[in-house]
Amino acid sequence: MKLKRILKWSAGIILLALIMWFQVAYWTSTNDCDHKTAAPNNPMKAITYCDYGLANLKLETIDKPTPNDDQVLVRVRAASVNPYDWHFVEGTPKIMRAMGVGLRKPKDTRLGVDFAGTATGSVALKPASIAFEQAASANIAGITALQAVRDKGKLGPGQKVLINGASGGVGTFAVQIAKSLGADVTGVCSTRNVDLVRSLGADHVIDYTKEDFAKGTERYDAILDNVPNHTLSECRRVLSPKGKYVLIGGGGPNDSRWIGPFGRIIKTMVLSPFISQEMGMMMADTSQKDLTILADLMQSGKVKPVIDRTYKLSEVPAAIAYVEEGHARGKVIITID
Ligand SMILES: NC(=O)c1ccc[n+]([C@@H]2O[C@H](COP(=O)([O-])OP(=O)(O)OC[C@H]3O[C@@H](n4cnc5c(N)ncnc54)[C@H](OP(=O)(O)O)[C@@H]3O)[C@@H](O)[C@H]2O)c1
């Protein structure tokens, strides 16, 4: 009885401490917006956001950053937008905020991961034949596709891969990279993208508005899932006994605003040890080596970035809103004058 009471009190105290810690952490969560100087000494244009939400994006003149010894300063000529960016703008899934992104306000007030430009040190050399817009499209989407096809799907000649979401940023790279490795590629997309996906080299295209790949008779050696809109058991049904399921996408605008794709990630991890098929998720690891491999693939013409729309720097909010809809055709690019 006494032990029960001690445990009950301890749990209550821990919970109260956690709530208080959360309250303090929430209200002290801040960013550099309050310390901005009126007139930057060394000005540059940037899109910034002091609070979460698309409506809070601003085109501003800020001070040019000074690189440390292990950094380079890049004069950005073009950038591209990824679903990654709107996750940060919206601060969703909200669990991200507690994982270091900023509880009440975004810690880092600047945006963007993909860029191409000129640098005083080398990041990865852009082949001369590739435009800045094409180079800017390759980082996140291209590297994700390369690592999904080569390292997670382990695809080689003749192996059958299904790419769900074949017409988006990752999908358009994945179709071409899988083809360059000799795989037999099936791409899943909507009617308006069937010709595009076929033109990228897909051997078979499934129009998801007319046919459900999970009800088909084909069995695949790997499924690269950019749009996890089928249950894991539905996906397993069309995988060969030793097939690999690679969860890439998740956290779409319709997913839980609190935990996003984490529920599905946990399910794949729990299931995998008990079945013959390999179920797993991937996180792209942006490495200079893989960026150089992509540059070579682009230079040789084996991979051609698909550019959907181009926006100006001042139009970044519209570009992110477009990507957030989840129907980009290839990559969305930001050009910088
Ligand atoms: N794990 C990682 O490291 C990593 C890295 C990059 C991206 N991601 C994630 O991967 C996902 C895809 O990224 P992305 O850059 O390719 O996104 P994206 O460029 O926004 O592409 C979304 C694509 O999904 C297609 N789509 C929508 N509903 C579909 C459905 N029911 N069936 C099949 N296709 C459908 C759309 O085609 P239609 O217009 O034809 O519908 C569109 O082309 C996102 O969730 C992103 O957050 C993960």
Mean pLDDT of 199-204: 98
List the domains of the chain with CATH numbers.
35-139+288-335 (3.90.180.10), 141-282 (3.40.50.720)
β-partners of residue 110 are: 48
Q: What number of H helices and E strands is found in the chain?
A: 11, 12
Mean pLDDT of 191-209: 98
Mean pLDDT of 162-183: 98
Please report which confidence band the pLDDT of residue 246 belongs to, taking 50, 70 and 90 as the band edges. Answer: very high
- H-helix or E-strand spanning residue 240: strand 239-247
Which of left, alpha, beta for 66 (phi over 0: left; psi -120 to 50: alpha)?
beta
Average pLDDT of the chain is 92
pLDDT tens by residue, 202-229: 999 999 999 999 999 999 999 999 999 9
Nearest atom of ligand 1 to the alpha carbon of 188: 33
Taking 80 as the threshold, does the pLDDT of residue 122 lie above it?
Answer: no
Taking 60 as the threshold, does the pLDDT of residue 253 lie above it?
Answer: no
Cβ atoms < 10 Å from Cβ of 298: 23
Look up the pTM and report it: 0.88
Q: What pLDDT shows up at residue 71?
A: 87
User: What distance in Å separates the CA atoms of residue 121 and residue 119, rounded to the nearest whole number?
Assistant: 5
3-state secondary structure of 123: coil
Nearest atom of ligand 1 to the alpha carbon of 331: 19
Among 241, 244, 245, 215, which Cα is nearest to 228's?
A: 245
Cis peptide before 93 (omega within 30 of 0): yes
Nearest atom of ligand 1 to the alpha carbon of 247: 1
Residue with tokens 């930001």, as numbered in its chain = 334
- Identify whether the C-beta of residue 174 lies closer than 8 Å to the C-beta of residue 141: no
Ligand 1 centroid distance, CA of 225 (Å): 9
3-state secondary structure of 278: strand
CB of 260 closer than 6 A to ligand 1? no
Q: What pLDDT shows up at residue 21?
A: 87
Which of 146, 207, 248 should be mutated for ligand 1, with most atoms under 8 A from CB? Answer: 248
Residue of higher predicted confidence among 301 and 286: 301
Per-residue burial over 323-332, b = 16 or more CB atoms within 10 Å of its CB, e = otherwise: bbeeebbbbb
Residue percentage of the chain with pLDDT more than 70: 97
pLDDT tens by residue, 64-98: 988 888 888 999 999 999 999 999 999 999 999 98
φ and ψ of 47, to 5 deg:
-90, 125
Residue with tokens 């994945």, as numbered in its chain = 174
Which of 87, 143, 147, 189 should be mutated for ligand 1, with most atoms under 8 A from CB? Answer: 189
pLDDT tens by residue, 264-277: 888 899 999 999 99
Residue with tokens 């080596």, as numbered in its chain = 289
Ligand 1 centroid distance, CA of 17 (Å): 40
Mean pLDDT of 311-332: 96
Strand-strand pairing, 184-189 and 204-207: parallel
Taking 90 as the threshold, does the pLDDT of residue 293 lie above it?
Answer: yes
Q: Could you write out the three-class secondary structure of 52-118?
A: CCHHHEEEEEEECCCCCCCCCCEEEEEEEECHHHHHHHHCCCCHHHHHHHCCCCCCCCECCCEEEEE
Taking 90 as the threshold, does the pLDDT of residue 4 lie above it?
Answer: no
pLDDT tens by residue, 8-56: 899 999 999 988 888 888 888 888 887 776 788 889 999 999 999 999 9
Q: Which amino acid is at 233?
A: S
Q: What pLDDT shows up at residue 172?
A: 98
- H-helix or E-strand spanning residue 244: strand 239-247
User: What distance in Å separates the CA atoms of residue 281 and residue 98, rounded to the nearest whole number?
Assistant: 22
Q: What pLDDT shows up at residue 58?
A: 95
Please report which confidence band the pLDDT of residue 125 belongs to, taking 50, 70 and 90 as the band edges. Answer: confident
Tokens of 36: 């901005």
Please report which confidence band the pLDDT of residue 261 belongs to, taking 50, 70 and 90 as the band edges. Answer: confident
- Identify whether the C-beta of residue 136 lies closer than 8 Å to the C-beta of residue 114: yes
Nearest atom of ligand 1 to the alpha carbon of 208: 32
Q: What pLDDT shows up at residue 311?
A: 97
Q: What pLDDT shows up at residue 254?
A: 60
Atom 15 (ligand 1): residue with closest C-alpha?
169
